[in-house]
Chains A and B, each alone.
Chain A
Amino acid sequence: MLGQVGSGLAQLVVPALVGQSSTGSFWLPPPDSVASGAVDHAFHFVMYVSYFFFALIFGLIVLFVVKYRRRPGAEAVKTAKSSLALEATWSLIPLALTIVMFYLGFVGYVELRSPPERAYEISVLARKWSWQFTYPDGTIDNNLHVPVGEPVRLVMTSDDVIHSLSIPAFRVKMDVVPGRYTRTWFQGKELGTYDLYCTEYCGTGHSDMLASVVVHEADDFRAWLKAAGDVLGNNPPAKAGEILFRRHGCGSCHSTDGTPRVGPSLQGIVGQTHAMADGSSAAVDENYIRQSILEPGTKIRQGFRNQMPTYKGRLNDQEITAIIQYIKSLN
C-alpha cells in the first residue's frame, strides 16, 4: 500500500502539467483514436484558460490579503464604487474566450457524432451487467475486437435499463437506451488493449460491467473473427462452454472460484443440494442448470436476489450443453 501511495504521489507531484503528446498528458490518456485529437485540442485550450484565470484569482487574493490586511493605523482607501470600463473588460474577454471554447467543442462533437459512410458495423447489446458485441458474420463476443485504422460504427441498444458505453482512450461515450438505437464510432490508431466502461449507473453490477477493446492488425482481426466464429466446431465441449460463458458475460455475476458475487459461485456446484429462497431445496444437475439459464426466476438460491435476465433465444441447446459441460468441469 505504501509503495503504491509513494509511486502515486510521484505521479501527482511531477505532473507534466503542460505536456501533451501522443503519449497523453497529465490529465488525459493517450489519444488513440482519430477523433481524439480534436477533443484534446478543445480540452487543452480550456485548460490553459483555466490555469490563467485561477492564477489571476489566487494571485489577487494573496496580493490583497498581504498588502491590505487590517492593521492599526491603516484605513481602507476609498476607490471608485463601480467602473463601466472594468465591467466591460471582465465581461467581454471571458465572453470572447467562451465563444472560442464553444467553437472548438462543437467541431470535435460533430466529428464524434458523424461516422464515415463506409464504417465497419458492430451491434452492441448492453444488459445487466455485461456487453455483447455481434459482428457482421454473427460472431458474438463480450470484448470488442476491431481492426486498426478502420472506422468502426457501433449500433447499440439495451435489454433492460440505460447503460453507457465509454472508451476513455478513444474519447468516446454514448448512452445505450432500451427501446431505441444509439450510435457512435471510432477509428483506432494504435494496436493495443483498452478499457471499456459502463458509465450510466445500472445497479448492483455497474462497476463490473467492463470490457476490453482489442485493436488488431487488419489480418489478425480477420483471423480472430474466423476462429471466434465457430466455437462449438473448433473446441471440445467444456472448452467451448468456457468461451461461451465468458462471451455472454456470465462471469460478471458468477465466479468460478467459490466467491459469491451478485449470483452464486459455480465452483463445485454440480451434485450439491441448495436451500432456495422460498424455503424449498433443490439438487443441482443438468436440468437445474438448464432451467436456471432459460428461466432464471423460478429457483432463487437463498441469500441471493432475482436479478438474472433470461438467456432464452440468446443461447441454443448445443451451446447450453457446452456450458453445462464447462460448469461440471469446475467440480
Chain B
Amino acid sequence: MANSADGKLSETNSSAPLNYLNCQRGFLSWALTLDHKRIGVLYLVSIMASLGLGGLFAMLIRAELIAPGETIVKEDTYNQFFTLHGAIMIFLFILPGIPAALGNFVLPIMLGAKDVAFPRLNLASYYLWLVGAVFFLVALVTGGLDTGWTLYVPYAFQTDTRVLTAGLGAFILGFSSIFTGINFIATVHTMRPPGMTWMKMPLFLWSLYATAIIQVLATPVLGITLLLLAAELVLGLGIFDPAKGGDPILFQHFFWFYSHPAVYIMILPAMGIMSEVIPTFSRKHIFGYKFIAASSVAIAFLGFLVWGHHMFTSSQSVMAGTIFSLLTFSVSIPSAIKVFNWLATMYKGSIALDTPMLYALAFLLLFGIGGLTGLFLATLSANVHLHDTYFVVAHFHYTMMGGTLIAFLAGLHYWWPKITGRMYSEFWGRLAAIGVFVGFNLTFFPQFVMGSRGMPRRYHDFPDKFAIFHFLSSLGAFLTGLAMLTALAYLLHSLFRGRRAAANPWGSATLEWQCASPPPKENFTEPPRVGDPYDYDNLTYDAENECFVPMNASP
C-alpha cells in the first residue's frame, strides 16, 4: 500500500494539499512512523495479507473435502491445513483486525485528537505483531502445526510439529494486543474533546473501549497458559500431561478462560462498526444509544464467565455445566438488544444500499443466524449432540466470518475514502458484497445440516451420506474466494483510478468526516465541531460533488 500510495501521490502533489500519505516519503518514514494513521495502514496491509494466507488454507481445506476419500492431500497435510487456517485467521487476522487496523486509524480522529495517547507504544504493538507473525511463518515452513488452533494436550506434547514456535508466536501476538488495548483505554479516557462526554461518544469508540478492557484483562491468561505449555515442553514439568501426573482438562480451562473472552475481542468492534454504518446509511439517529453502549460493556463482562460452555462433554461436573449454561444464555440478551436497536434505527429512515450498508445488512442476517444457533449450543442436552460437529463449525463461522469479517468489510468500505482519499467502484463493490453473502451461506448453511446429523469436525474423510453437504460447502467456499478476490481487485484499482473522495461522502456525523480525505498529518487544521455523533440534520447532499456538506457552509 505504501508503494501504491506513493505512485498515486506523485501525480497529485501539485494539486493535492499535504496529507498523512504524502507529507513524508521513503521506507523509514513508514517503518519508524508514530502517526496512528500510518500505523493503521501498516496493520491494514499486514492483516489483509494474513487474511489472504488464511483464506488460501480455507480453499485447500474445501478442495480436499469436495468429495469423500483422499482428494488432494493425505491426512497429515490436511490436519495442517485446518490448524494453520484457524491459527492464522484467529491470531493474525480477526483478533487484531478491526481494533488495530481500522480502530487505530479512526479512534483518534473520532476524538478530534492528533494521535493516540502513546504513539510509541502503538508502533511497538505493530512490531510485536510482525515478530509474532514471523514466528508463525517459521513454524509453517519448518514443519507446520497439526494440533488444531486449540493446542489441546496431551496431543500437543506428542506431535512432532512446531508447537513451541507457534506458541511463542501467539505469546508475542498477545502482547501486541495488550499494547493496543492499553493505548485505547488511555486515549478514550484522557483525549476526548471538550463537549464529548462518555454518553456522546460514537458507539464504535464504546465498542473499542469494551474490547480494550478484555484485551488487557484476558490476554495475560493466554500468556500464562502458553508459558506453562512451554515449560512442560522444554523442562518436562507435569502440569498438563497425564503421563507425568498432570491434568489435560486444566489446560482446557486455561485455554478457554482466554479464548472465550477473545471471541468478544473479535465481535465487539464489529458491532461498533454496525452502530456507525447503519445510522449513517439510514440517515437516522441511532436508536437506544445507552442500551447499545451498556450492552458492549455487559458483553465484555459476561464474556469472562462462560468459558466452561466449551467443555460440556469434557467430563466437567454436571453442576459446573449447569452454571456455565445459565451464564452463557445471559450473554445472548445484550447481543439481542443490539440487533433490535439497529433494526429500530432503520425504521422510517432513508436507506441507501451502498456497499457498506449491504455488508451491514448481511451482518444482521448472518450474525442473527450465528447468534440463534449459539442458543442450541448453550442448551446443555443439545450441546452434547452438537459439540465438535460441523454444527459448531458453521455456528462460529456465522459469528466470526458472517459477523466480524463482514463487519470488517463494511468498515473497510466505509472508511476506505477516508484512508486512501479515493472512491472505489460502487458497482463492483455491491456485486462483490452479494457474491460474498451468497457464497458464505452456500458454504456454511449445509454445515449446520450435516453437523446436526452427526458429521464430526476436523475429519479428512467422511461417510457418503454427508457427501452432498460437503460438495455444496466447497462450491460456496470457492464462490466466496472469488468474490473476495474481486473486492481486492477493485479496491487496488481505486488507488490508481478511483474518483477523489470528498471529506464526507456518506453523510456521517462523527468527527473523522470533518477532516479532509485523506486527513492531513495532524488530522485537523482547525478544531472540529463536536456535536451529537448521530445527528444528520445539519448535513445536506451536494449532488455536484457527490458528497455531504454542512448546511451552514458554502459549497
Contacts and interface: CB of A to CB of B under 8 A. Distances in A.
Interface of A: 1, 4-5, 7-9, 11-12, 26-29, 38-39, 42-43, 46-47, 49-50, 53-54, 57-58, 60-61, 64-65, 68-70, 74-83, 86-87, 90-91, 94-95, 98-99, 101-102, 104-113, 160-162, 164, 166, 168-169, 171-175, 177-180, 182, 195, 197-208, 262, 305
Q: Is the interface of B mostly helix, strand, loop or mixed?
A: helix
Contacts of B461: 207-208
B456 A197 contact: yes
Nearest to B462: A207
Contacts of B173: none
B364 A166 contact: no
Given A57-B365, A175-B314, A102 B471 contact: no
Contacts of A65: 346, 351, 353, 361
B498 interface: no
- 6 closest A-B pairs by CB: A8-B468, A108-B381, A179-B242, A168-B454, A105-B379, A109-B380
Contacts, number: 285
B547 interface: no
A90 B365 CA distance: 17
B19 interface: no
A86 B292 CA distance: 13
7 contacts: A70-B283, A82-B287, A102-B325, A105-B383, A177-B249, A178-B242, A205-B75
B291 A87 contact: yes
Nearest to A259: B70
B346 A8 contact: no
Contacts of B285: 78, 81
A213 B154 CA distance: 28
Contacts of B384: 39, 109, 112, 171-173
B224 interface: no
A199 B471 contact: no
Given A60-B343, A199-B389, A98 B315 contact: no
B185 interface: no
B76 A161 contact: no
Contacts of A53: 368, 372
Interface stretch (B1-9, B36-44, B51-59, B333-341): B333-341
Contacts of A113: 318
Contacts of B314: 175, 177
In the complex, which of the residues A27, A69, A200, A208 has the most CB atoms of chain B within 10 Å of its own CB atom?
Answer: A200
Contacts of A60: 343, 346
A199 B375 contact: no
Nearest to B459: A207
A198 B154 CA distance: 16
Given A160-B158, A174-B315, 6 more contacts: A8-B467, A27-B453, A38-B381, A50-B376, A161-B158, A173-B385
Contacts of A110: 318
In the complex, which of the residues B243, B291, B382 has the most CB atoms of chain A within 10 Å of its own CB atom?
Answer: B382
A102 B329 contact: yes
Interface in B324-359: 325-326, 329-330, 332-333, 336-337, 339-341, 343-344, 346-353
Interface of B: 67, 75-76, 79, 146-148, 152, 154-155, 158-160, 242-243, 247-249, 282-291, 312-315, 318, 321-322, 325-326, 329-330, 332-333, 336-337, 339-341, 343-344, 346-353, 361, 364-365, 368-369, 372-373, 375-376, 378-385, 387-389, 446, 448-449, 452-454, 456-464, 467-469, 471-472, 536
A202 B372 CA distance: 30
A5 B467 CA distance: 8
A102 B326 CA distance: 6
A261 to B, nearest CB: 9
A214 to B, nearest CB: 17
B375 A98 contact: yes
B346 A29 contact: no
A164 to B, nearest CB: 6
A42 B468 contact: no
A161 B379 contact: no
A82 B459 CA distance: 48
Given A53-B368, A94-B332, A109-B380, A168 B385 contact: yes
B158 A175 contact: no
Contact of B382 (A43, A81, A98): A43
Contacts of A203: 79, 146, 155, 158-159
B155 A201 contact: yes
Contact of A86 (B154, B344, B468): B344
Contacts of B343: 57, 60-61, 64
In the complex, which of the residues B375, B378, B446, B461 has the most CB atoms of chain A within 10 Å of its own CB atom?
Answer: B375
A156 to B, nearest CB: 9
Contacts of B459: 206-207
Contacts of B344: 86
A5 B389 CA distance: 22
A166 B318 contact: no
